[in-house]
Amino acid sequence: MKLILFTFLSVTAGCVQAQLPDSLVRYVQPLIGTAKMGHTFPGATVPFGAVQLSPDTDTIPYAVGGKYNPDVYKYCAGYQYDDPTIVGFSHTHFSGTGHSDLGDFLIMPTSGPLQLDPGVADAPETGFRSAFQHANEVAEANYYRVKLDDHGILAELTTSTRTGFHRYTFQEQEEAHIVLDLTHGIYNYDDKTVWTVVRVLNDSTVTGYRQTNGWARTRTVFFAMSFSKPFKTYGSKNFDGTSVYRGFWRKFDQTDNFPDLAGQKLRMHFDFDVAAGEQVHIKFALSPVSMSNALANMQTEIPHWDFDRTKREGRDLWEKELRRIEARLPTEADYVNFYTAMYHAALMPTVYMDVNGQYRGLDYEVHTAKGFNSYTSFSLWDTFRAFHPYLNIVNPSRNADMVASMMAHFDQSVLKMLPIWSHYANDNWCMSGYHSVSVIADAIIKGVYEGDAEAALTACVATANSRRYEGIGEYIDRGYIPDEANGTSVSNTLEYAYDDWCIAQLAKHLGRTDVYETFIKRSENWRNMYDSSIGFMRPRHADGTFRREFDVLETHGQGFIEGNTWNYSLYVPQNPAGLMDVMGGRAALSRYLDSLFTIHLPDKFFANTEDITREGIIGNYVHGNEPAHHVAYLYNIAGEPWKTQERVRMILENQYHNGPDGLGGNDDCGQMSAWYLFSSLGFYPVSPGSDEYWLGSPLVQSATINLENGKQFTVEAMNQSAKNVYVQEVLLNGKPMEGYILKHRDIIDGGLLQFRMSDKPGRR
């Protein structure tokens, strides 16, 4: 029997592979999501690379004089597709976030007389920024090219893990300048840059660092910069006007060819004479530790000046990364969506260590990562849902390293908390929950993280008992967070309850009954938020009464974060059956879901939803935000799986498009893309921390996941078409499957999952 099955699988797999395109990386369109709300960046990077070298199209500050500027929101990734100008190319960018930071070390090549101010978008000639045309723009995996109209310069960007590689081709013989702006930043404001340093080591090598107080409270990034052509002269400007020229340093003219600079806000220019058609290359490496480490990173990763080689090597890394899933898809556009989703789900978290293994920890100390690769930038409120579970299948070794990185964060934290939203040895405390515990439990239960599981459980418990954080103390004492204690008391309570369930699962897995009992009890706290009189989760006062004034459609000020109670009332992924029960059973749940997907959300409520476009909403279901990502799958438990199938395919079709405005909401560090990838494959991790996936309706014709253990898991959609969204039959390794639950082991052991598709709702 085993032998027969093996042969069968091999034939099938072989069959699929034969029809696969030669290149998958060609389907990656980094521009998807760069218009409106996607907040992705179009620039160059390698999988999970520490450098994201990408154009920034404006310099709008987050706040001036302490006053918030809402326009800054568009620039979370530095680039907005509809903007007419490019300010320059900076080396660090988040992908798809809603708040932001980074934008370190902006480089801009210019021609003609020196301009050291960026100028304004309406009149790019007022500064070093340049107009550009999308017709002259190319964005590929690890390659970005654009013509800078104002300067007559063709700019090309590529990267290795820690090093950006710039190639600038000058059209005419002229005076040229490379501007290095250390004051530039994303979500910038007056005093965000705390300190900057630049050292000009010789006529083609520059090092330095930038220390900021932004979303990351204390963040220092070091750099090393190397020019292929020696600069003729150079100079600096310090934009705070005082500190760099303070004291006896005034003895020097620090603006002119002075190699030893420090101040609050440095901007540099390097000057060249170029011939027509001449190319100037720049290598620009980063380090979280030191300038010497940045130099070593550069010299190790790119010990040459062959731009095309680095571009090709990065492209090869992407091809290898994408080959982890070899999919056949109905249309060319689907290929683009699928592999761009895989691309977007391989940008963050990013490598956070130098080639020698060193990184700067949360304790401000330099550590050496031992036995793991260190990663940073964990947007956990988003990514625990599908992104990390996706890695547990497709890229488990990286996810194990990410869990190890979270554990290192915990060990270095004086608060003794796992990361909430961490980047660059900081926690920025954005969003809610303590969802590290979900990622950790999921990775251990699925056998992905093989580090010290007892220590991991201890860290989870410590975090869940951080009484000072976001109402946890009240939550522990009362079983819910009172409305008056916290502005997002309901969503916090719901999320904590889910997280507690994850801790319970981990405790059970480790045989720690004591911990299990505590946390399984806590995991039922969601019940305390449910107001059966209205059938919704609802803010509750300390005295036990529910808040009187309450709007079920409104997102703001109702006790939830990024979601109204219509969406959040379904947030009990750890116990959907229990939720269905309090809601009144199968039919009641089904009606609720039907309403969710069809109620028209009046404009006045839409205005207060966050991070999404109008298109990011289906009825009152908000796919552009995360809390309802599991919701379409809940029809399964209500006994109407065909509605799950219908809705999933509808969301796949409506919410993901080719083109710059292809994402209806923030990609959120790969979570939106991971939803797409799971759902395209026909299953979804409704409750990470369990070993179960709920079935949906595959978009792929077939897909083979090349597992790290050497096995293959193949999904096949028989009779697949755009209309055939309904599943008639599911076969696992040739045997009909009952129910809607696929186990992690079914995948990881390799095998074949076949869906027989139809245009009519089936029983299953």
- Determine, following the binding rule CB under 8 A, whether residue 194 of this chain makes contact with a second copy: yes
Nearest to 589 by CA among 597, 581, 601: 581
Q: How far is the CB of 69 from a second copy (least distance, A)?
A: 15
Residue from 1, 248, 543, 763 that binds a second copy (CB under 8 A)? 248
Q: What is the 3-state secondary structure (H, E, C) of 567-616?
A: HHCCCCCCCHHHHHHHHCCHHHHHHHHHHHHHCCCCHHHHCCCCCECHHH
- Determine, following the binding rule CB under 8 A, whether residue 450 of this chain makes contact with a second copy: no
- Determine, following the binding rule CB under 8 A, whether residue 200 of this chain makes contact with a second copy: yes
Cβ atoms 208, 197 nearer than 8 A: yes
- Determine, following the binding rule CB under 8 A, whether residue 191 of this chain makes contact with a second copy: yes
Q: How far is the CB of 429 from a second copy (least distance, A)?
A: 4
Which positions from 466 through 505 interact with a second copy, judged by CB under 8 A?
A: 468-470
Cβ atoms 688, 384 nearer than 8 A: yes
Indicate the residue among 201 and 599 with the shorter CB distance to a second copy.
201
Number of residues that bind a second copy (CB under 8 A): 46
H or E element, residue 14: helix 2-18
b/e burial code for range 106-140 (CB count within 10 A of at least 16 → b): bbbbbbeeebbebbebeebeebbbbbbeeeebebb
- Determine, following the binding rule CB under 8 A, whether residue 203 of this chain makes contact with a second copy: no
Give the number of C-alpha atoms closer than 13 A to the C-alpha of residue 156, restricted to the C-beta side.
Answer: 15
Residue from 2, 135, 242, 577 that binds a second copy (CB under 8 A)? 242
Residue 301, phi then psi, degrees to nearest 5: -80, -40
How many other CB atoms are there within 10 angstroms of residue 276's CB atom? Answer: 11
- What would the x/- binding string for a second copy be over residues 213 to 232, using CB under 8 A? xxx-xx--------------
How many other CB atoms are there within 10 angstroms of residue 626's CB atom? Answer: 26
Nearest to 17 by CA among 755, 702, 750: 702
Return the sign of the alpha-carbon dihedral for residues 30, 32, 34, 37: negative
Residues in CB range of 711: below 8 A, 6 or more apart: 748, 749, 750
Cα dihedral 29, 707, 310, 369, rounded to 10, equals 120
Q: How far is the CB of 156 from a second copy (least distance, A)?
A: 30
Indicate the residue among 130 and 207 with the shorter CB distance to a second copy.
207
Indicate the residue among 99 and 315 with the shorter CB distance to a second copy.
99
**Ramachandran bin of 77, using left for φ above 0, alpha for ψ from -120 to 50, beta for the remaining angles:** alpha
Indicate the residue among 468 and 763 with the shorter CB distance to a second copy.
468
Determine the interface stretch with a second copy among 9-17, 49-57, 190-198, 754-762 (rule: CB under 8 A): 190-198
Q: How far is the CB of 100 from a second copy (least distance, A)?
A: 12
Which positions from 254 through 273 interact with a second copy, judged by CB under 8 A?
A: 258-260, 262, 264
Q: How far is the CB of 206 from a second copy (least distance, A)?
A: 10
Indicate the residue among 425 and 457 with the shorter CB distance to a second copy.
425
Residue from 243, 279, 356, 654 that binds a second copy (CB under 8 A)? 243
Indicate the residue among 294 and 441 with the shorter CB distance to a second copy.
294
Cβ atoms 328, 16 nearer than 8 A: yes
- Determine, following the binding rule CB under 8 A, whether residue 355 of this chain makes contact with a second copy: no
Which positions from 393 through 422 interact with a second copy, judged by CB under 8 A?
A: 413-415, 421
- What would the x/- binding string for a second copy be over residues 420 to 439, using CB under 8 A? -x------xxx---------
- Determine, following the binding rule CB under 8 A, whether residue 65 of this chain makes contact with a second copy: no
Kindly report whether the peptide bond that precedes residue 42 is cis, defined as omega within 30 degrees of 0: no
The two three-digit tokens of residue 314, written as one number: 């990065």
- Interface residue list for a second copy (CB under 8 A): 66, 191, 194-195, 197, 199-201, 209, 211, 213-215, 217-218, 242-243, 246-249, 251-253, 258-260, 262, 264, 290-292, 363-366, 413-415, 421, 428-430, 468-470
